[in-house]
């Protein structure tokens, strides 16, 4: 793992806001003297929303000229302050473009170790989320009305994975809105699971339903992880469907050959998740 000091020697960011301030050129130059690459970020880009469309571009051009840089990344994170007023809408812009530029720079300039370290932290967190969710679903599948509980658990996990990759909060309704994408790919399995959830515990049927729920859950969460890790968004439904179908096919044998004891073991799921994430 690279030390933070070493990381700062590779790259850093210089954040500005408002109209051009020529005095900040010296600060930017000092930062560039200690970092191989500096990304200049214009925060609070929403300040120009009420002006003509070209107003923001004029400000960006002025900052580029004043600081002597080729690119300035406009961003906005309105509403994400924990002290925000109730009901204030979230407004996040430009972060994805900035993140993509940083990752591209790291890969292009032979700093894959730094990029890999950043992604490894995300993968480790996602691995825990998926494994823990599968253990929970293994228990919920044996409860009458299980489909309702399982859907809520799946949605919470989708939101948690989304936060790991984007740093943004996904609402419960947004997370639940993702589930039908996968349900349509596993319609027979989903219908069986919902039908079973209306019945009292029966033993054999419960085990079958648990297997269905676990396979769908595992493939679903890993598909979300795969799409986000690639830099795509969850609005890319076709990408999600392809990833889900591929992962479900690859995981089916392992899940089918496992036992009730395996299903309730976090280590079992962690091992399986790793084998699928890094394959």
**271 and 218, same structural domain?**
yes
**255 and 165, same structural domain?**
yes
pLDDT for the residue numbered 74? 92
**43 and 148, same structural domain?**
no
Question: Would you place residue 247 in the very low, low, confident or very high pLDDT band (cuts 50, 70, 90)?
Answer: very high
What is the arithmetic mean of pLDDT over 99-108? 73
Q: Name the least confident of 86-95, 156-165, 174-183, 247-256.
A: 86-95
**92 and 138, same structural domain?**
no
From 59, 89, 110, give the residue that closes a domain: 110
98 closest CA partner among 19, 40, 27, 28: 40
Question: Would you place residue 11 in the very low, low, confident or very high pLDDT band (cuts 50, 70, 90)?
Answer: low
Q: What is the mean pLDDT of the chain?
A: 80
Q: Is the pLDDT of residue 263 over 80?
A: yes
**82 and 18, same structural domain?**
yes
**234 and 128, same structural domain?**
yes
**205 and 257, same structural domain?**
yes
Tell me the percentage of the chain whose pLDDT exceeds 70.
Answer: 77
Q: Is the pLDDT of residue 80 over 60?
A: no
pLDDT for the residue numbered 2? 33
pLDDT for the residue numbered 178? 87
Name residue, tokens 């200049």: 40
What is the domain count for the chain? 2
pLDDT for the residue numbered 60? 94
pLDDT for the residue numbered 7? 43
Question: Would you place residue 230 in the very low, low, confident or very high pLDDT band (cuts 50, 70, 90)?
Answer: confident
Q: Is the pLDDT of residue 204 over 60?
A: no
| 177 vs 81: CA distance, rounded Å | 25
Q: Is the pLDDT of residue 198 over 50?
A: no
**204 and 104, same structural domain?**
no
**140 and 61, same structural domain?**
no
Range of the domain at 14: 4-110
What is the arithmetic mean of pLDDT over 194-213? 63
Q: How confident is the model over 137-166, as pLDDT tens digits?
A: 898 888 777 778 888 899 999 999 999 888
pLDDT for the residue numbered 184? 67
pLDDT for the residue numbered 277? 82
Q: How confident is the model over 17-74, as pLDDT tens digits?
A: 888 888 888 888 888 888 888 999 998 888 988 888 899 999 999 999 999 999 999 9
From 52, 82, 110, give the residue that closes a domain: 110
């Amino acid at each position: 793992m690279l030390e933070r000091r070493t990381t700062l020697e590779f790259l850093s960011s210089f954040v500005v806001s408002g109209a051009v301030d020529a005095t900040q050129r010296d600060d930017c130059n000092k930062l560039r003297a200690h970092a191989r690459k500096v990304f200049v970020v214009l925060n609070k880009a929403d300040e120009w929303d009420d002006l003509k469309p070209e107003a923001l571009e004029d400000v960006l051009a002025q900052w580029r000229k004043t600081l002597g840089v080729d690119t300035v990344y406009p961003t906005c994170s309105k509403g994400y302050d924990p002290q925000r007023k109730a009901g204030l809408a979230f407004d996040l812009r430009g972060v994805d473009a900035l993140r993509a530029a940083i990752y591209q720079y790291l890969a292009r300039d032979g700093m894959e170790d730094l990029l890999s370290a950043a992604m490894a932290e995300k993968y480790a967190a996602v691995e825990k989320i998926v494994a823990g969710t599968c253990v929970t679903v293994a228990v919920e599948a044996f409860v009458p009305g299980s489909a309702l509980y399982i859907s809520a658990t799946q949605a919470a996990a989708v939101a948690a994975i989304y936060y790991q990759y984007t740093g943004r909060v996904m609402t419960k309704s947004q997370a639940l809105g993702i589930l039908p994408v996968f349900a349509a790919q596993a319609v027979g399995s989903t219908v069986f699971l919902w039908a079973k959830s209306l019945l009292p515990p029966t033993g054999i049927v419960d085990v079958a339903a648990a297997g269905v729920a676990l396979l769908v859950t595992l493939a679903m969460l890993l598909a979300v992880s795969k799409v986000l890790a690639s830099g795509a968004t969850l609005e890319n439904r076709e990408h999600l469907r392809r990833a889900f179908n591929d992962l479900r096919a690859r995981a089916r044998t392992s899940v089918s050959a496992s036992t009730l004891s395996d299903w309730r073991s976090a280590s079992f799921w962690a091992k399986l998740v790793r084998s699928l994430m890094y394959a």
